[in-house]
Structure 1
Amino acid sequence: MIEKHVEDWKPLIHRVIESKAAEFRLLGYGDVTTEAVWNCLLKKVWRKEKVMKLHQVVEDVFHLSGHHYMSYITMETYQSDDLMASIAAVTNME
């Protein structure tokens, strides 16, 4: 089987990613986008190994749990500049 960088597989598995985003929305995770799911996979699941076979990439998308996704979203929120600015504004008001 052919191995490619996960970014090269993205166009082929777009519907799989859409399906995972829809699953998370049905489970009540809010406004989940395909891009957010993709970024979660890149940063949490494929942070070390980014050259894979197609079936491995699809398997990772299907196995992405709501827990891992929410952990990723929480960390992204903590690291966002907007949140830090809000904390600084509240701290300076006291």
Structure 2
Amino acid sequence: MIEELCNSKAEEFRLLGYEHVDGKEIWDCVNAKYAKTGQPELHQLVNDILSLKITQFMNFMTLSAFKGNPF
């Protein structure tokens, strides 16, 4: 279910012109938010995936690039 949501959000971003986004990158972005607090409830995960904005995602990708994390 979560994988399908991430893929759906990636498809949404591709429709907006961001062609190289995949579901794993969406998951990495959303999951990074919970690095310190642990995995949240399912409804919180679903909300965070569906409400993810392209600016939040691009900020995450930019910071990941600066930190040297591969995409």
Please, what TM-score do these two structures have when normalized by structure 2? 0.82
Structure 1 equivalent of residue 37 of structure 2? 49
Aligned residues, how many? 70
- Structure richer in helix, relative to its length: 1
CA displacement at 1:81 relative to structure 2: 7.2
Specify which of 72, 75, 86 is matched with residue 63 of structure 2.
75
**Residues in 1 aligned to 2:51 and 2:58: alpha-carbon distance in whole angstroms:** 14
Q: Which residue of 2 aligns with 1:58?
A: 46
SS in 1 for 2:35: coil
* Structure-1 separation of matches of 2:39 and 2:67: 27
Q: Larger relative CO (CA 8 A, sep 6+): 1 or 2?
A: 1
Report which of the two has the higher share of strand. Answer: 1
Query: Distance between the aligned counterparts of 1:14 and 1:20, measured in 2?
Result: 10
The normalised TM-score by structure 1 is 0.65
Paired position in structure 1 for 2:17: 28
Displaced runs of 4 or more, over 3 A:
none
Q: Distance in 1 between matches of 2:58 and 2:50?
A: 16
SS in 1 for 2:40: strand
Q: Does the 8 Å contact 2:9/2:49 carry over to 1?
A: yes
Identity of aligned residues (%): 33
What is residue 8 of structure 2 aligned with on the other side? Answer: 19
Unaligned runs of 5+ in 2: none
- Unaligned stretches of 5+ in structure 1? 1-11, 83-94
